[in-house]
Amino acid sequence: MTSKRFLFLMAIIASLSVEARPQASDDHRLEVGMQYTSMQISVLETTESGIGGRFGIKLSRYLTAEGEVNFFPESRLGNSGFEQRLQGLIGVKSGYSNRRFGIFGKFRPGTVDFPKLKLMRGLCQVSGDTVVCSRSGRTGHRLAFDLGGVVEFYPAQSYVIRVDVGDTMIRFKDDVFFTFPDPTRVKNGFSHNLQVSAGFSFRF
């Protein structure tokens, strides 16, 4: 075999192997998982725990679209808060992965629901054990952005162990929390809240 034929054959083999690797990595495009999560609510100086679920669609080798919903119960999972809350996020993660692990950045806008949160107009008046604040009819849904990093481990081809660390930025609007013994007033602007999650997923 001449050197030209040998190089030509090696080029064909190399091109076939390059085409085969992305095809094999795209066998699992969908991902469904659940996680335990902990979020610091900086304006209340509390840390709350919850559970949630996640769904992802792999768009390319480096980019995945995903949505996540977390539920924080009122008085379970170690919480001492006065209300339950719900968090919903949808966005993307992007980064590097191989057969054993992956490292990604994430950006996911969404909302955090504070059912008893009211928009304040003026000052609150305290009468005995009753706190009365003038308020508008707006809901307790507040805009949020989740910005951070993700580390994944792949013990098997279809299983994922995932750890998230990020800053959940929540946009408040001159709000008031009916905390005891005094209401907590929150000014306009974003608050920064550390959120850490750990869970597992199935890929198929």
The domain ranges of the chain are 28-203
What tens digit of pLDDT does each residue of 24-44 get? 445 789 999 999 999 999 988
- Which has the higher per-residue pLDDT, 19 or 44? 44
What tens digit of pLDDT does each residue of 132-141 get? 665 554 568 8
In sequence order, what DSSP letters do the residues of the chain get, joined into one string?
A: --HHHHHHHHHHHHHHHHHHHHHHHTT--EEEEEEEEEEEETTTTEEEEEEEEEEEEE-SSSEEEEEEEEEE-SSSTT---SS-EEEEEEEEEEEEE-SSEEEEEEEEEEEEE-TT-EEB-S--EEETTEEE--B-S--SEEEEEEEEEEEEEEEETTEEEEEEEEEEEEEE-SEEE--SSS-EEE-SEEEEEEEEEEEEEEE-
Distance from the Cα of residue 8 to its chain's centroid: 49
Q: Please report, rounded to a whole number, the percentage of residues in the chain having pLDDT higher than 90.
A: 51
Single out the residue of 98, 108, 188 nearest to residue 152, CA to CA: 98
Options 2.40.160.20, 3.20.20.70, 3.40.720.10, 2.60.40.10; CATH of 28-203 = 2.40.160.20
Q: What is the pLDDT of residue 76?
A: 72
The full length of the chain comes to 204
How high does pLDDT run on average in the chain?
82
| Burial class (CB within 10 angstroms; exposed 0-12, middle 13-18, buried 19+) of 97 | middle
Position 143 pLDDT exceeds 70? yes
